Structure 1
């Protein structure tokens, strides 16, 4: 009989201890779930914008590829492995004459073997001139001139005026009819197989009007070929 009493007391003690742990656990749980109460420790939850569309994690865009503010930020991208570092160097120096010439030479490289051999870009190579290269050249000119030169501005002027002849007059390339006078003049050098400006008939490199530069392809096929390439590339 005494043995049974001891066993009963032992079981009762275990039940009391278990009950105390349950009460303590309930108090802790209530403390963490009570409104307005912040737990002292929170598990780390890895979020992914693909699985969590409401994620507020901000992604900083790469200004080198989207909106460069300096020439050093312009990525010299080329689909034809053309080196535009010299062009950037001339533009950093505001050497518009050398930069204009370098643009012409490097665009021949970007166009293809026919353009490199003849110094003029045939229609078939102009049709495949990489948009990547055109954008690199345009960004370099635009950044160097604070948006006053480059393909983008030239195309914007064309769209605004609705006519290439008026655009030529606006940027200082050619006067309107009836004179149709070219304000600069290109000639072909058979020895070098390159286009060159006649002495005294060069572009305005000292104080170029907005959209005056670069003068690539101007005078013999801008309004057919280069404009087509720029349109294709959505300038």
Structure 2
């Protein structure tokens, strides 16, 4: 039925029954159930770690999933030697294949997101956008809205996938775009929904932003949030997001 095994030489029958149930839950079609199962398995010692390793072995060969991203994060923070050995051998750089049409290195961003260092990941995301925009943007450390159209779709999709996979599918440009479209492209309502603004008061950077997955959907990355509407409009309207 499944390649995700709950077998462990030290597991009691009760432990095996529980890990088997969680192993099946890990294959659920419901993301919330998958994430809950992964988190619980990570707390169950080596028997749970074995299930997570098997899950990553058998699911990460195809399309990279959010559940696989969560599993990678949990294994990376585990004290299990088996977990660390597996990641070092199978996924030393994370589970998302990073690619760029401009030769931009997105591996540092992946490392920060795996570690859930979201504030640092946000800063490096802006740095990578500046690299895409060219030397002038890198020097000024922000992006003009007129530079966004030149961004390769592959690069924006890479950045977006990294954010989505390692944030339980809560963060990313495409999540912000979904919200924007659902609000009929109303910017004032979007800022409120993203918790970038409350009433007439803009959220203060960095202390008032939420740097973990308890933040509202779409809260991160901030990109060029302080540059205003035009930058976001061009970013969320980029051809990368349309088939």
> Which is further off, 76-85 or 205-214?
205-214
**Counterparts of 2:103 and 2:145, CA distance in 1:** 21
1:172 corresponds to 2:195: yes
- Post-superposition Cα deviations, 1:81-139, rounded to whole Å, max 9, x if no partner, equal 11111100011011111111111111111121221111121233222122111110000
TM value normalised by structure 2 = 0.58
Residue 75 of structure 1 aligns with which residue? 97
Instruction: Quote how far apart the aligned CAs of 1:234 are.
Output: 4.2
- Post-superposition Cα deviations, 1:2-34, rounded to whole Å, max 9, x if no partner, equal xxxxxxxxxxxxxxxxxxxxxxxxxxxxxxxxx
**Counterparts of 2:124 and 2:160, CA distance in 1:** 13
1:117–1:234 Cα change, 3 Å: same
1:215 corresponds to 2:222: yes
Instruction: Quote how far apart the aligned CAs of 1:77 are.
Output: 1.0
1:229 corresponds to 2:232: no
1:205 corresponds to 2:211: yes
Task: Name the larger-Rg structure.
Answer: 1
Of residues 128, 132, 145 in structure 1, which corresponds to 2:167?
Answer: 145
1:153–1:65 Cα change, 3 Å: farther
**Counterparts of 1:217 and 1:154, CA distance in 2:** 13
Instruction: Quote how far apart the aligned CAs of 1:225 are.
Output: 2.5
Q: How many pairs were matched up? A: 155
Select the structure that is richer in helix: 2
Q: Pairwise mapping of residues 178-193 of structure 1 onto structure 2 (< 5 A)?
A: 180-185=200-205
Pairwise CA RMSD: 2.2
User: Could you list the runs of 5+ residues in structure 2 that have no partner in the other structure?
Assistant: 1-58, 70-93
2:157–2:240 Cα contact (<8 Å) kept? no
Instruction: Quote how far apart the aligned CAs of 1:170 are.
Output: 0.8
1:129–1:209 Cα change, 3 Å: same
Q: Pairwise mapping of residues 97-176 of structure 1 onto structure 2 (< 5 A)?
A: 97-162=119-184, 163-176=186-199
1:120–1:126 Cα change, 3 Å: same
TM value normalised by structure 1 = 0.60
